[in-house]
Every structure is written in C-alpha cells, then in structure tokens.
Amino acid sequence: MNCLKDGNKIENGELRMENKKSEKLKVKNENLPKIAIYPGTFDPVTNGHIDIIKRACKIFDKIIVAVADNKDKKTMFDLEKRVELMKKATKNIKKVEVKSFNSLLVDFAKKEKCNIIIRGLRAVSDFEYELQMGYANKSLYEDIDTIYLMPNLENAFISSSVVRSILKYGGDVLHLVPKEITGELNVYSN
C-alpha cells in the first residue's frame, strides 16, 4: 500500500480516497500504465539500449521491445537477426518481450493494448527529433504518451551508428554492446 501526500492510498492497483465526510471512496484505476513499448531499429542493440530497458523495467510490469522493420533505413542486420540479437541481449532481464513490427508505432501500440512509449535521450540533439515524434504519435493516437529516459553517463555516447562504424573498420566494440551478442558481431567487422 502506498500513501499519497493527500492522505489517499493506492492499494492493489486501486486508488482509495477519503472525502471530507471521511467516507471511503474506491476508484478502480484501470489506466495505470503497466506495459510500455520501447521501439527502435536496434541495429545493433547496444549497452545504451540495455540501460534504458533496465530502467524502464523498474517502472513498468512489462516492456515490449519493438524491433522496427524500417524500409527507409539501410540496416547492417536484417530484421530477423536484430530480433535474435535483442532476444539474446535481454534473455536475463525479466519483464521483457521482444517483438518485431512493420507498421506505424501507434498501430502496433493499439494492437498490444499499450499507451506508453519509452524513448532514450542521450543528448540535447536527440530531444528535438524525439519531441517531434512524440507529438506526431500523439496526433495519431490521443491516448499515447511518451516517457523519455536518459542512460547512465557511461552509455550516453553510445549509438548503433557508432557501433556500426567501428565494426565496419574492424574496431573493438566489446565495451559498447551486451556480452551476450559480441560473438555474433565479429562476423560483421571487415
């Protein structure tokens, strides 16, 4: 049971309120976010992505990691491989389910009966794009909300494009990606 500042309580997912006459009012709060979607191309998954997933797991009961099949992006790994890598990278994180999608994110969210999107912000430069996408999603699906999480400072500079560039030239990415997938990436270095 959680006590709120105003004397009301949350107990077993229900908000218990007391009115001025001290009568107990019970309001079932079915809109509490329990499931969130963390979308991306994850080409490949990085320690920054895993950091955001772990942070989101502290807030939500379930995180759907939604691997996008974005035909506009030229990816290093095909969709099936990216899903496989994400499943390997998250196999020891409870609350995570990995799925792919090839539709508008809001349509996928509706299908999954989810109204929360998780996005990671590494720097101010990410914010403008993410804010625009958040507004666009909201214009398409009024019930959708976006929550922005920052990775730990040690992961703030990591992006999939940095990892791809390092791989392309045969560099070491062991400190940038989850250990569960490092063997899979060696094949892609020149």
pLDDT in tens, 106-165: 999 999 999 999 999 988 888 999 999 999 999 999 999 999 999 999 999 999 999 999
Task: Delimit the domains of the chain by residue range.
Answer: 1-32, 35-157
Q: In what order do the strands lie in the sheet with 9-11?
A: 2-3, 9-11, 14-18, 24-28
Q: Identify the CATH class of 35-157.
A: alpha beta
165 is catalytic: no
Q: Which of 82, 119, 159, 160 is catalytic?
A: 160
Contacts of 73 (CB under 8 A, 6+ apart): 41, 43
49 is catalytic: yes
Mean pLDDT of the region 72-83: 93
Q: Which of 16, 34, 122, 164 is catalytic?
A: 122
Quote the pTM value: 0.81
175 is catalytic: no
